[in-house]
């Protein structure tokens, strides 16, 4: 019904209207925003449904991105040759052993998703079975992002260090400098986002989705009913990691670079900010919020290059203060307003008194 109609509308907008209306530059920007939105879909499941504040999704985004970039750099270099940055730094005479499997697309492509999922499974199993949750889990996941950045920066000869893997020119035989091929990459990213939304909806409305919400709201009760909350949380965490890995893999051909600056603590927090702005408890909210925040950052930085970070922070504060449910709650508020047309605006209302009885509302002046 409504979900199918909304899905069809989103597909028409992304696959039909956007390529017709937007220039090549703006379409490339939208492709980057949609990659961020793919990460947001996973955070919406883990945080919005599971209550796990994941401040380290940059780790899984980076694992997927580096796996894809390593394959593309090896493909650009040609059989048996070292990638350009390894030749530039002159620290290696031959390809490191852990780079070699990524020369095969049959290994590299599954690794972009399976490697982040494997890391998430290991970390989640360790953390959730010890009943670590709340702020402790958020800090731990953030520390993981910091540790990964330190590791990547320290291995300059094999990972590119602070520069990362740059100047990626080809994508499975296609020249990424060609606008036609860039549009093809955009269509691939848009289709992947729609696929992840369909998967997320299926997961949310399944029995597992109900169990995940139950664990969020009453973990001890779920344990007494015979379920293992740790297993339920691990599944959500692993799914979110796989989505972030896929987003990172598609981000590389869209932008042509992956570096530690794109996957550290700050980007990980920005992923969560987008979900909070959009509305973490809904399916489309995280996507809308991630795209809106990324677009606002670009628009503000173009017009106010010196003060755009303050404006972005103000935008976030306003949304959180006046729309705690995010942008997705606007539709619900509108329906509520239509159902109760005589209800006074929010600044004229008095909250309920203690004890549950509703106090009299302030009459209109």
pLDDT digits (tens, 9 = 90+) for 50-98: 999 998 999 999 999 999 999 999 998 877 778 888 877 666 778 888 8
Higher confidence at residue 129 or residue 342?
129
Residue range 341-346: average pLDDT? 58
DSSP string, 151-209: HHHH-HHHH-GGG-B----EETTEETTSHHHHHHHHHHHHHHHHHHHHHHHHHHTSHHH
> What is the pLDDT confidence band of residue 248, given thresholds at 50, 70 and 90?
very high
pLDDT of 23 reads 92
pLDDT band at 363 (very low <50, low <70, confident <90, very high): very low
Q: Which range (12-16, 119-123, 307-311) has the least confidence?
A: 307-311
Q: Across all residues in the chain, what is the average pLDDT?
A: 86
Q: Please give the share of the chain, as a percent, with pLDDT higher than 90.
A: 48
Q: What proportion of the chain, given as a percentage, has pLDDT over 70?
A: 89
Per residue in 230-244, pLDDT (tens digit) is 999 999 999 999 999
Largest CA distance in the chain: 81
The per-residue pLDDT for 356 is 52
Contact 162, 257 (CB under 8 A): no
Is the pLDDT confidence value at 359 over 70?
Answer: no
| Residues 307-324, mean pLDDT to the nearest whole number | 79
Structure confidence by residue, pLDDT tens digits, 165-183: 998 988 888 888 888 999 9
pLDDT at 158: 86
Q: What is the pLDDT of residue 29?
A: 94
Per-residue tokens: 110: 């599954």
pLDDT digits (tens, 9 = 90+) for 249-264: 999 999 999 999 999 8
The pTM (predicted TM-score) of the whole model is: 0.88
pLDDT higher than threshold 80 for residue 352:
no
Q: Tell me: the pLDDT tens digits for 198-214? A: 999 999 999 999 999 99
**Average pLDDT, integer, range 283-291:** 91
Confidence of residue 344 (pLDDT cuts 50, 70, 90): low
User: Does the pLDDT at position 298 exceed 50?
Assistant: yes
Residue-wise pLDDT tens digits, 109-167: 999 999 999 999 999 999 998 888 888 888 889 999 999 999 999 888 888 888 989 98
């Amino acid at each position: 019904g409504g979900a199918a109609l909304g899905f069809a509308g989103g597909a028409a907008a992304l696959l039909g209207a956007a390529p017709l209306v937007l220039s090549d530059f703006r379409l490339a920007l939208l492709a980057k925003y949609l990659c961020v939105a793919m990460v947001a879909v996973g955070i919406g499941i883990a945080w919005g449904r599971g209550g796990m504040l994941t401040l380290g999704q940059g780790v899984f985004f980076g694992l997927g991105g580096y796996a894809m970039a390593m394959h593309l750099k090896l493909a650009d270099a040609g059989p048996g040759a070292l990638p350009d940055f390894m030749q530039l730094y002159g620290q290696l005479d031959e390809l490191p052993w852990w780079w070699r499997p990524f020369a095969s697309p049959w290994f590299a492509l599954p690794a972009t998703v399976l490697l982040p999922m494997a890391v998430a499974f290991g970390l989640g199993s360790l953390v959730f079975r010890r009943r670590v949750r709340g702020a402790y889990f958020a800090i731990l996941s953030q520390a993981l992002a910091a540790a990964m950045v330190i590791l990547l920066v320290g291995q300059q000869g094999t990972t590119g260090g602070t520069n990362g893997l740059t100047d990626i020119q080809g994508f499975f035989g296609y020249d990424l400098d060609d606008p036609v091929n860039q549009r093809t990459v955009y269509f691939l990213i848009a289709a992947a986002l729609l696929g992840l939304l369909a998967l997320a909806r299926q997961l949310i409305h399944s029995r597992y989705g109900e169990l995940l919400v139950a664990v969020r709201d009453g973990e001890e009760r779920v344990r007494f009913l015979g379920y293992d909350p740790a297993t339920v949380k691990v599944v959500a965490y692993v799914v979110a990691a796989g989505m972030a890995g896929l987003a990172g893999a598609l981000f590389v051909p869209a932008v042509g670079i992956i570096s530690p600056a794109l996957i550290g603590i700050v980007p990980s927090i920005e992923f969560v900010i987008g979900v909070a702005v959009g509305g973490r408890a809904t399916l489309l909210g995280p996507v809308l919020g991630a795209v809106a925040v990324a677009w606002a950052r670009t628009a503000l930085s173009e017009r106010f290059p010196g003060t755009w970070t303050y404006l972005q922070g103000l935008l976030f504060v306003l949304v959180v203060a006046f729309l705690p449910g995010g942008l997705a709650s606007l539709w619900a508020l509108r329906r509520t307003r239509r159902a109760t047309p005589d209800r006074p605006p929010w600044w004229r209302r008095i909250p309920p008194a203690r004890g549950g009885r509703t106090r009299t509302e302030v009459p209109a002046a």
